[in-house]
A and B are shown apart, each in its own frame.
Chain A
Amino acid sequence: MTALFADHTLRVVALGAGLLGAVSGALGSFAMLRRQSLLGDAISHAALPGIAVAFMLTRSKAPVVLMLGAALAGWLATLAVMTIVTRSRIKYDGALGIVLSVFFGLGLVLLTLLQKRPDASQAGLDRYLFGQAAALLVDDVRAMAIIGAGALAVLAVLWKEFKLISVDADFGAAIGLPVRLLDTALTSLLVIAIVIGLQTVGVVLMSAMVVAPAAAARQWTNRLGPMVALAAGFGVVAGVGGAVLSSIVARLPTGPTIVLALSGLVLVSLLIAPARGLAWRALRRGQHRRTVEADAVLLDLYALALQHEEDLEHGHDEAVLRAMRGGQINVRRSLEKLAQAGLARRTGHGRWALSAAGRARALEQIDHAGEHA
């Protein structure tokens, strides 16, 4: 592994992708929480014509120039979406779809025009479609680092204001915060998060870089600070992992590799994150269900015992209990659970009775239910 990172190109690539993961993970958390996941998609697609125009105007492929073009186009796209939503009956989803696809179409037209220029110097703009981590240069990484650090600094400085307008914007306005300005700032950070990743991941998949780390991180914590940190961490892991993998394995494009790594993280998080995870939820539901079932059998046994007042220890057939519930519940499992808890015991083959503790428990439950009625 150390030998691997001794390689200069690989070090640059890993550094760049890691940086990107950290920045987009952190900034993307706010976007996801503010329901701007799909706006991210529109911004990243819309960046394509910006890159092309920036190149046409300056003839430069300097990362900062292209990022600036991408950012301006991304901003314009956001503005267009907002205008359509507020000034027409077209809803948010339609506005995003139109802006995304039309801007992207414009980008394609511009790229084909560039391709036909005699100097053909557009070679390299193509990689903005799917990204190409292996082509990252030290200069690119430096630009990403400076811009990303700036964006993170803004996030840190305005942290509590951003948090408040994300959870309750009206209250923010009521205590005198300039909500629209903050909103614009936060959206600009999203634009920046997207723009710095285009070269590595590409316009088509960049939105996943913004949404996926946040979606994974959200499952593990209920606090914003840890969530943002975790999202950044997930971004780094997937970014470095994906970029390195695609650099050393032939014909493994960077963008899709990183995105699949992130998707895996999301899936795992959805399944096993404590408290929220689906696996835990199923487990809890199963436990709850078993408890409810055991209680039901307990009460059934008690009801049967009442019919034999003279002999409380009289055993009752499992089949009877099963019939009482119409096969809806697992009677055997419930009886064994009761037996384990010392509430019931086996009196003979397939016959069961409540213990003294079980009878007390049943009475308790009946009283409890009475209170609630």
Chain B
Amino acid sequence: MSPQIEVQLIAVVVAVAAALPGTFLVLRRLALVSDAISHAILPGIVVAFFLVESLSSPVLLIAAAMTGLLTVVLIELLGQTRLLKEDASIALVFPALFSVGVLLISRYAGGVHLDVDAVLLGELAFAPFDRLVVAGHDLGAKALWSMTAILLLNVVLISVLYKELKLATLDREQAAVLGFAPATVHYLLMGCVSITAVGAFQAVGSILVVALMIAPPAAAYLLSDRLSVVLILGGVLGAASGVGGYWLARGIDGSIAGSMAVVAGLVFLGALLFAPQRGLAAQLHRRARQRWSFAERMLLVHLLHHERTPSAAEETAGHTVHRHLRWSERFTAEVIRRAEAGELLRREAGLLQLTERGRQIAQRALLELDERDGLGELGGRDRRRRAGRTIPGGAVEE
């Protein structure tokens, strides 16, 4: 296998392995825990490295996973003191642990092959040079093997715990009542994040692990409501970012890891702008379309309210109604024209009168308000829970 293909393969495997636990981080609003963990595992890596003097030993994985869990526990402990807000706890814990790691490296790792830049930034281009050789046979790049193992671990863990993870994401309390031990599931997921982060740091560096864990699943989440689709799509978009990043880096002769993050960012930007329903473009389009129908309904409701009231003459005169609605005259004229064309209202002696159809529409508009629960994407957690068929963040249950 040529190094070129091997690098891309590693990139794909890292990206998919990161996107899987990343999906749950995004859905559970724990995205920044990945940032914290990926920084904070540094001292774990360093200490383990001192012990075994190798960067590819499984001991590193275990040490890093422990440090990752320690980070999560420390953040939670700080939060429990109620002396600090949660975001401040995160912002305090990981710089401290990261600093310990950097100091350990600077002070005691002089000369050995471990420097901060490598941990933080990674260099994928060198990964193929570190070969796994068993009994004289070259089996391929070590990083490819280790990341594939981590990917498999993530796949197995998420498949086995799929129901539990989904439920714990949906509703912690309910999961606990049903006996699913959400705390255990939580820490398993955090362990998963830690192992993935440490496995990936050599390839892409710790900060860019964050990009691969968060950006592709976030993009997928803008494109789909189904958890299983978000998971798979997140992996696909991550893999695409990996390959795209590799070619971008080759094209401009820059850092591969950095380019992968940039491409992941572009993929997210693309989803943010052009997602079929949730994208900014779709939002603008929908809003432009809704503007007229909303204005029309507003006018109809206004007329309905003032039908047969003492102030009707003042409120419903074709030439003064804009003042009451605080619209411009031109806009009002256009709304009236559209409503007239739709036979929703007619003019009688300068007053706007609802037609039977217009009255029905106005009444229905008001009725809809009473059933607002069923409408719209505005909703928070509560409504979704009440609806009983979707999970937080709107991913629809299969």
Direct contact of A and B (CB under 8 A): yes
- Given the contacts A109-B262, A252-B107, A98 and B222 also touching, CB distance less than 8 Å: no
Q: How far is the CB of B208 from chain A (nearest CB, A)?
A: 6
Q: Contact: B103 with A252, CB < 8 Å?
A: yes
Q: How far is the CB of B23 from chain A (nearest CB, A)?
A: 11
Q: How far is the CB of A21 from chain B (nearest CB, A)?
A: 15
Q: B19-46: which residues lie under 8 A (CB-CB) from chain A?
A: 26, 29-32, 34-35, 39
Interface size on A, residues (CB 8 A): 60
What is the CA–CA distance of A97 and B377 in the complex, to the nearest angstrom? 24
- Given the contacts A87-B283, A97-B32, A101-B208, A129 and B91 also touching, CB distance less than 8 Å: no
What is the CA–CA distance of A168 and B110 in the complex, to the nearest angstrom? 52
Q: Contact: B253 with A89, CB < 8 Å?
A: no
Q: How far is the CB of A242 from chain B (nearest CB, A)?
A: 10
- Given the contacts A38-B90, A88-B278, A253-B103, A112 and B254 also touching, CB distance less than 8 Å: yes
Q: How far is the CB of A78 from chain B (nearest CB, A)?
A: 15
Q: Does B325 contact A (CB under 8 A)?
A: no
Q: Contact: A97 with B222, CB < 8 Å?
A: no
Q: How far is the CB of A128 from chain B (nearest CB, A)?
A: 13
Q: Contact: B221 with A263, CB < 8 Å?
A: no
Q: Does A219 contact B (CB under 8 A)?
A: yes
Q: Does A149 contact B (CB under 8 A)?
A: no
Q: How far is the CB of B136 from chain A (nearest CB, A)?
A: 36
Closest to A205 in B: B95
> Among A84, A94, A212, which residue has the most Cβ atoms of chain B within 10 A?
A94
- Given the contacts A93-B31, A100-B35, A109-B259, A208 and B96 also touching, CB distance less than 8 Å: yes
- Given the contacts A101-B208, A251-B106, A263 and B88 also touching, CB distance less than 8 Å: no
What is the CA–CA distance of A267 and B231 in the complex, to the nearest angstrom? 39
Q: How far is the CB of A189 from chain B (nearest CB, A)?
A: 17
Q: A7-27: which residues lie under 8 A (CB-CB) from chain B?
A: none
Q: Contact: A108 with B265, CB < 8 Å?
A: no
Question: Across the interface, which residues of B come within 8 angstroms of A100, CB to CB?
Answer: 35, 207, 210
Binds A, one of B113-121, B171-179, B181-189, B190-198: B113-121
Question: Across the interface, which residues of B come within 8 angstroms of A107, CB to CB?
Answer: 258
What is the CA–CA distance of A111 and B26 in the complex, to the nearest angstrom? 29
Question: Across the interface, which residues of A come within 8 angstroms of B32, CB to CB?
Answer: 38, 93, 96-97
Q: Contact: A266 with B278, CB < 8 Å?
A: no
Q: Does B201 contact A (CB under 8 A)?
A: no
Q: Does B84 contact A (CB under 8 A)?
A: yes
What is the CA–CA distance of A255 and B106 in the complex, to the nearest angstrom? 12
What is the CA–CA distance of A218 and B82 in the complex, to the nearest angstrom? 12
Q: Contact: A90 with B222, CB < 8 Å?
A: yes
Interface class of chain A by DSSP: helix
Q: Contact: B222 with A101, CB < 8 Å?
A: no
What is the CA–CA distance of A32 and B87 in the complex, to the nearest angstrom? 8
Binds A, one of B143-151, B211-219, B304-312, B343-351: B211-219
Chain B, residues 36-76, CB within 8 Å of chain A (1/0): the string is 00010000000000000000000000000000000000000
Q: Contact: B34 with A84, CB < 8 Å?
A: no
Q: Contact: B99 with A89, CB < 8 Å?
A: no
Q: Which of A89, A255, A260 contacts B221 (CB 8 A)?
A: A89
Binding site for B on A (CB under 8 A): 32, 35-38, 40-41, 45, 84, 87-94, 96-98, 100-113, 116, 129-130, 204-205, 207-208, 211-212, 214-215, 218-219, 251-253, 255-257, 259-260, 263, 266, 270, 276, 278
Given contacts A108-B254, A256-B102, 10 further A-B contacts (CB under 8 A): A32-B88, A36-B87, A38-B91, A84-B272, A88-B280, A93-B30, A104-B208, A104-B261, A105-B261, A251-B110
List 7 A-B pairs, minimum CB-CB distance, nearest first: A105-B261, A102-B265, A108-B258, A101-B211, A256-B99, A208-B95, A109-B258
| 30 pairs of residues in contact across A and B, judged by CB atoms under 8 Å | A32-B88, A37-B85, A89-B221, A97-B35, A98-B215, A100-B35, A101-B214, A101-B265, A104-B208, A104-B261, A105-B260, A105-B264, A106-B258, A106-B265, A107-B258, A108-B261, A109-B255, A109-B259, A110-B254, A111-B255, A112-B258, A116-B253, A205-B98, A251-B106, A256-B99, A260-B100, A260-B103, A263-B95, A263-B96, A263-B99
